[in-house]
Amino acid sequence: MKIIQKNLHFLEPFESLEKVQHIIVHHTSRKHMTAEECHDFHQKERGWSGIGYNYFIEKDGSIIEGRGQHVGAHAYGHNRTSIGICMTGDFDSESPTNQQWTSFLWLCGYMLKLYNLTPLQVLGHRELEGVQKSCPGKLINMAEVRSQVTEYI
């Protein structure tokens, strides 16, 4: 597998990550949204520098680099010490595609090795203190995610 760089234009320079402690899993909560559309949404609607996620996984399994190995804008209070992986889709009402899931497991395994983390450090956005949304979706069982990541690596 490979990570695709789209050379997205950000409005501010990147900042270096601090010691990465978690991988945080997200969904777009929209059934169809490309990395470019997410980038535009975050810039134009949210007023951010650009896409907030470090990595974005399309329905066809393509892994797009967002902020890469730099501080993201995906989980308030955790951006400096986490990698945010977002999959397009509304996982309150649909499941990730097989291609997305395969890419997610690969990327998650790669990041765990890169940052010397364990599957227990893979969290759903909703598992963070103070988060009220269902992200990464009601159909995503985070205990099962961690179990599958463990099996994968």
Query: Which tens digits make up the pLDDT trace of 81-114?
Result: 999 999 999 999 999 999 999 999 999 999 999 9
Mind listing the pLDDT tens digit for each residue in 141-150? 999 999 999 9
State the CATH number of the domain containing residue 78.
Answer: 3.40.80.10
The structure tokens listed for 54 are 């470090």
Task: Categorize the per-residue pLDDT at 14 as very low, low, confident or very high, splitting at 50, 70 and 90.
Answer: very high
pTM above 0.75, yes or no: yes
How many other CB atoms sit within 10 Å of the CB of residue 138? Answer: 12
* Residue-number span of the structural domain to which 45 is assigned: 14-152
Whether 95 is in a domain gets the answer yes
Count how many domains the chain has. Answer: 1
Contact assessment for residue 54 and residue 67, using Cβ atoms and an 8 Å cutoff: yes
The structure tokens listed for 148 are 């599958």
Q: Would you give the DSSP letter of residue 120?
A: G
Q: Would you say residue 119 has pLDDT above 90? A: yes
Whether 68 is in a domain gets the answer yes
42-46 contacts, C-beta under 8 A, 24 or more apart: 42/73, 43/11
The per-residue pLDDT for 131 is 80
The per-residue pLDDT for 45 is 87
Distance CA(75)–CA(21), nearest Å, equals 13
